[in-house]
Structure 1
């Protein structure tokens, strides 16, 4: 056995089924009113992402790779904050959260019940608020 053989994963070569994240694009200010209304019945999450930031890209990949069907009880919105800076700014005002990137906000009953940024973003947080 070679040196690197010891470090190979036991699951190497085994395909795992990836779950596609059901993102909804957040692109306009008017959607924020809809999100507030939706959150009265169903928890809503907003993922704020900077397409020019390596950390944001890494956190997004990790979030998507850990996404599971159990988290589908939360409606997910994806905000490209560089393309929609006005929406990003209004998210902060409307839901009373200081801007970070990347950032995850969970909205329930019209209020922010959880928010996290950078490496504190964890897909398991979605399940806590369903």
Structure 2
């Protein structure tokens, strides 16, 4: 049974900074999209339809590339990736852990990336 994600909007650079800082405590997935793009709309619907990841595992955010272009460009800059949409970026521990664009975006891949991130951090905690 899929559980539609509850997107929180990132509407400013300050809010983006808070999201990245918050990823030090819980991973944050940012979905960059353009509300006027059919491909972007289709990918958002696909993610929402197939979503099966608990909100306890990751915080979910959305950025509209047209409305908040400065935020969208800053995400690409901070993540060290090419600016595209639709695009997902996973932040954990304040850094980019995973990104994907266009048709390569899937719930399955996001779930796998989260699993790897969580296992890595558990392993690191045992080494500290």
TM bucket by the smaller chain?
0.7 to 0.9
How many residue pairs match? The answer is 114
Residue 72 of structure 1: how far off its partner (Å): 4.4
Larger helix share, 1 or 2: 2
- Please, which runs of 5 or more residues in structure 2 have no aligned partner? 119-128
Q: Does 1:111 pair with 2:95?
A: yes
Q: Does 1:96 pair with 2:74?
A: no
Partner in structure 1 of residue 61 of structure 2: 77
Cα RMSD (Å) of the superposition? Answer: 1.6
Deviations 1:70-107 (A, max 9, x none): 36411010101100011111111122121111000001
Following superposition of structure 1 onto structure 2, how do residues 6-45 of structure 1 map, counting pairs within 5 Å? 18-45=2-29
Partner in structure 2 of residue 3 of structure 1: none
- Please, which runs of 5 or more residues in structure 1 have no aligned partner? 1-16
Q: Give the distance between the partners of 1:62 and 1:72, measured in 2 at CA.
A: 21
| Larger Rg, first or second structure (1 or 2) | 1
Q: Give the distance between the partners of 1:65 and 1:104, measured in 2 at CA.
A: 16
More deviation, 88-97/64-73: 64-73
